[in-house]
Chains A and B, each alone.
Chain A
Amino acid sequence: MANFIQLLIGGVSMGILYGVVAIGFVLLWQTSQTINFGQGELVMVPMFLMVALHIVLKIPFWPSFVLTLLGSGIMGYLFERLMIRKLLPGGVLVIVIATLGLSGFLRYGMQIAWTPQTLFFPHLFSTKPIELGDIIFSPEDIWNIVLISVIIIVLHLCIKRTKLGMAMQAVAQSRETAELMGINVRHIITLVFVLNSVLAGTAAVFAAPIFFVRYDIGIFLGVKAFVAAIIGGFNQIRGALVGGLTVGLAETFAAAYITTAYRDAFVMILLLVVLLIKPEGIVGIKEEAY
């Protein structure tokens, strides 16, 4: 049982991280029918920004964190204004190709501009293990789970309970109708891109001590989050979270009870099974009904 609980903590702490990145995919898809294959790079760039501020310039953690989120928000704003807005009329395929290009540009740009080396990032929380009987766990994992959960709950409440959130939901359901109801759709789409980048920036700060900071980490996180969003449901925020947790737990339990090799393969098998049985995702809603 102790073993099971420890695996559960490990799987959830990774899964929630995938989930928070996956939420970005869902938010952008819902409001602008955009699939952003540069989502992983929206995590990678703030990681480097955090290193620049906190490690290189030695700015204390909290100001660095705030500045990183600010930088992420600006990046999201520019991303929407300079690229997405111009390409949106071209349809989803144009956006997919453009974001793939952007992803490569940011990745190799960072490698050339800064370093191909992996950079160190310190732990955010105490690493002294806590023992509860046979169960040993790290405070870092618990804090990650708690804090990211709080962020997701706050986001969920904002979307469900505030006027702005309702406007976002309206845009997600029908851009034309939302426009007729007096909602500034362009404004909402820009806001969602900023929100997505800030979320990705937050994920970056939590992920940096676990993965370290390297220019190509975005591919890894982006693919995991994309798979998580599909498994959970591409049209539901809670779907991204469920998908993230499913991926994290599937990886961990498959590695523990089947084999540690090819742990990614189990996730891909799971993805295929979900697509065959419930193509809209575990908690996703069928597009017709939606």
Chain B
Amino acid sequence: MLKKTLISISILSLLIFFSSGPAAAAEKVRIGVVIELTGAGASLGDYWTKGVKYATKEINDAGGILGRPVEYKIFDTQSKPPISVSAVKKALAWKPYALSGPIYSSSTLANMFLSQEAKTPQNVGSENWRISTKGSKYIWRTSTQQGFEIPKLLSFIMAEKKPKAIAMLHVNNDYGIGAKETTQKILKETYNTKLVAAMACEQKQADYSAEFSTLRRKKADALFVYLLEEEAAIVYRQVRKMGLKLVLFAPNSGISEDTLRLGKESAEGVYGMSGFEYNAPEPNCVRVSKWFKKQYKEWPDNEFMKGYNSVYLVKTGIEQTGGFDKAKYSQKMHNIFITPKVQKNICGGNLYYDDVGDLHAWDYLVQVKWDGTHAKPKIVAALPPLKGPDSSKKTKWYEK
């Protein structure tokens, strides 16, 4: 009898022990990090993941989100849109509260319907304008989309550099094609001009002699380099190598730390824009960048800060909701103005999220300077967002 009782108690204890697993897991705020861990975007994915890791540690050290610790798990997209779909499926099967990533626009466009179906918040690093037109109430960007970034950049280039013939090199994917469409539209509608050449380039392309021959034929005096980090650095090197005299300008991928580390002196003079710079006049950007520099002996790429913010956005949403209801989260995180008072650690200062999850934030217009050992982005102007409470603010350059 005693033996039977003991066995029953043991089985019961085991059942309780194992059944407590999911319950304990439910106490954690799970974030599925769907990111470019391998493939062409591995370098960016690495920065993003480091950002997620740091933000998670910071939040957990401070007591978690509403008392619950944050837990993340990484799912590799291999930088390929079809793989990103299966990565999101796997991540959703893990029952996360939210998803973080991916960065590549083509991947986000392929997998965003899954987070929408699962009603799970997804904070992405992608910038293609089409993402905002898909009607998802569960997508938020961690950087300004190209439809808001390019007008600001062009307004500076057109006013200050007055180019007569602008050409564009863009990566042949959704990120680059979206940028080409946006640029063509803005040039036509705002400046009544057009690109003299828009050339699609492949990822990992190393020779641009064909593109440069077109630039010469079209007598281009300015080149919009809308490529990924590595290719942008290769273009800067080859522009100098071929002695081309061009005003070079680029989005954040063209002036990011990853690009400048490779481009070095050949990146000198390039104009670009980014919302997150390690030397930006914004305390949190500076703080996390200094931590990164101390930890990894180099300055971070903006993807680090985007990955970091992707976790703090989840914290903000949950705290604003006062609970873990995802539908309420979705409501609260639209048309929200996140200031340092709302979320003291978030990077980028005042962030406004509109009704489709687009970020409207201050961007920094920079020009790259070579100091003999490093290419550094020197901030030329801070440009206010095009929408939201800060959009009415004028900066010195805008007044001019």
Contacts and interface: CB of A to CB of B under 8 A. Distances in A.
Interface in A1-24: 3, 6-7, 9-11, 13-14
A260 B241 contact: no
B42 interface: yes
A118 B262 contact: yes
A171 to B, nearest CB: 35
Given A127-B241, A136-B243, A117 B43 contact: yes
B220 to A, nearest CB: 14
Interface in A176-219: 210-212, 214-217
Contacts of B7: none
A136 to B, nearest CB: 5
A10 B217 CA distance: 16
A116 interface: yes
B264 A256 contact: no
B355 to A, nearest CB: 35
Interface residues of A, number: 44
Interface string B199-222: 111101111011111101100000
B99 to A, nearest CB: 21
Majority secondary structure, A binding face: helix
A131 B243 contact: yes
B320 interface: no
Nearest to A219: B204
B365 to A, nearest CB: 26
B363 interface: no
Interface string B225-239: 000011001100100
Contacts of B43: 116-118, 214
Contacts of A10: 207, 209-210
Nearest to A252: B210
A129 interface: yes
B42 A216 contact: yes
A120 interface: yes
Interface stretch (B33-41, B62-70, B101-109, B307-315): B33-41
Contact of A212 (B45, B199, B201, B234): B234
A214 B201 contact: no
A249 to B, nearest CB: 11
Contact of B206 (A6, A9, A210): A210
A251 interface: yes
B209 to A, nearest CB: 3
A14 B209 CA distance: 10
Contact of B213 (A6, A116, A214, A264): A6
A209 B148 CA distance: 35
A7 B261 contact: no
A254 B199 CA distance: 13
A117 B210 contact: no
A262 B210 CA distance: 13
A27 B241 CA distance: 34
B206 A211 contact: yes
A79 interface: no
Interface in A227-286: 248, 251-256, 259-264
Contacts of A61: none
Contacts of B243: 129, 131, 136
A217 B220 CA distance: 31
B202 to A, nearest CB: 6
A256 B211 CA distance: 7
A137 B234 CA distance: 16
A277 to B, nearest CB: 26
Contacts of A138: 241-242
B390 interface: no
Given A111-B42, A117-B46, A260 B211 contact: yes
Contact of B210 (A7, A118, A131, A211): A7
Nearest to B45: A116
A260 B233 contact: no
20 contacts: A6-B209, A13-B207, A108-B38, A111-B38, A116-B46, A117-B43, A118-B43, A127-B237, A129-B241, A136-B243, A210-B207, A211-B206, A212-B233, A214-B230, A220-B204, A248-B207, A255-B210, A256-B214, A262-B172, A263-B202
Interface of B: 37-40, 42-43, 45-46, 172, 199-202, 204-207, 209-214, 216-217, 229-230, 233-234, 237, 240-243, 258, 261-262, 264
- Return the 4 tightest CB-CB contacts between A and B, nearest first: A10-B209, A255-B210, A129-B243, A261-B200
Interface of A: 3, 6-7, 9-11, 13-14, 108, 111, 115-118, 120, 123, 127, 129, 131, 136-138, 140, 210-212, 214-217, 220, 248, 251-256, 259-264
